[in-house]
Structure 1
Amino acid sequence: MDGTDAYDVFNPPELAEPRGWNHGLLAPAGGRVLFVAGQTAGGPGGRVEAADFAAQFALALDRVLAVVRAAGGEPAHVGRMTVYVTDLPAYRDARAELGAVWRARMGRHYPAMALVEVRGLVERGARVEIEATAVLPARRPRE
């Protein structure tokens, strides 16, 4: 499984056409499941490193991908993502910037996604938190 064929995509015609996500992804048999905890724009000291909505999204996504890469994966292995935001209108206003952030990191790979507006996040000043599930290729047996 490489990043280009990590999943079979399912977008049934009776459902609305997805834009920036997919209805369903089927992981290949034998893959290893990686659960990535919610990531924000908070740095090592716990302080949020950006105030701008798109900048926070970029940092949170970078941190999700850092976990995926540390486990031996790549962005295309992310199969599911939930984005929590504290300000839905700010998300809507930043969609053009968010699209550029997404393409720079994820290319044209779109996992099954949900976006949820919440009243608050644990880290003060955090406006975005992203959690994800990735399916990484099965380890090859040692020769």
Structure 2
Amino acid sequence: MNDRINPPELGKPSGFCHAVAVDPAACERIVFLAGQTALDQDNKIAGDGVVEQFEQALGNLLTALRAAGGQPQDLVSVTIYIVDMDDYKANARKIGAVWRELAGTEYPAMAGIGVTRLWDAEALVEVQAFAAIPKKTS
């Protein structure tokens, strides 16, 4: 249903996909997922570093996606807002491992954007996404 597109004319992507095409006729619904930080159930930021906070934020996003009837492979676009880009890049391998553990190896179209701060001053990362949930086949 979701066609990952990586043209040979563009550099080989690592940890993202250049484009994702969705057949609207094959979709049950499109889900717009709010930005998620590392807030825990007590509305406190969990995790001291960017890797731990990314894991919590991505987990929160995937929890919302599952509640909407979707799965990680339904993600078609993800934006990651990053307070300290150098720290994020220095931990890119660990963050990639967290992504693969929680969301798998099919990457959506992605963007990483450096910001000066997020809504919660303690938050180091926020993850926002769109998903296309396929129609159930019987």
TM-score normalised by the chain length of structure 1: 0.89
Distance 1:19 1:13 in 2: 14
- Answering whether residue 18 of structure 2 is matched by residue 23 of structure 1, we say yes
Equivalent residue, structure 1, for 2:65 = 68
User: Once the two structures are superposed, what CA deviation does each residue of 1:3-40 show, in whole Å capped at 9, x if it has no partner?
Assistant: xxx41111112222111101101112331110000000
Q: CA deviation at 1:131?
A: 0.1
Secondary structure of residue in 1 paired with 2:24: coil
Equivalent residue, structure 2, for 1:12 = 7
Equivalent residue, structure 2, for 1:137 = 134
Higher-strand-fraction structure: 2
Unmatched 5+ stretches in structure 2: none
Of 89-98 and 73-82, deviating more is: 89-98
Q: CA deviation at 1:139?
A: 5.7
Of 54-63 and 102-111, deviating more is: 102-111
Moved over 3 A (4+): none
When the two chains are superposed, the root-mean-square deviation of aligned CA atoms in Å is 1.5
Q: How do residues 1-143 of structure 1 correspond to structure 2 at under 5 angstroms? A: 6-30=1-25, 31=27, 32-138=29-135
Distance 1:20 1:83 in 2: 12
Letter in 2 for 1:26: A
Equivalent residue, structure 2, for 1:3 = none
CA 1:47–1:124: 2 relative to 1, 3 Å: farther
Share of identical aligned residues, percent? 37
Letter in 2 for 1:128: V
Is the contact made by 1:54 and 1:94 (CA closer than 8 Å) also made in structure 2?
A: yes
Q: How many residues align?
A: 136
Distance 1:46 1:26 in 2: 35
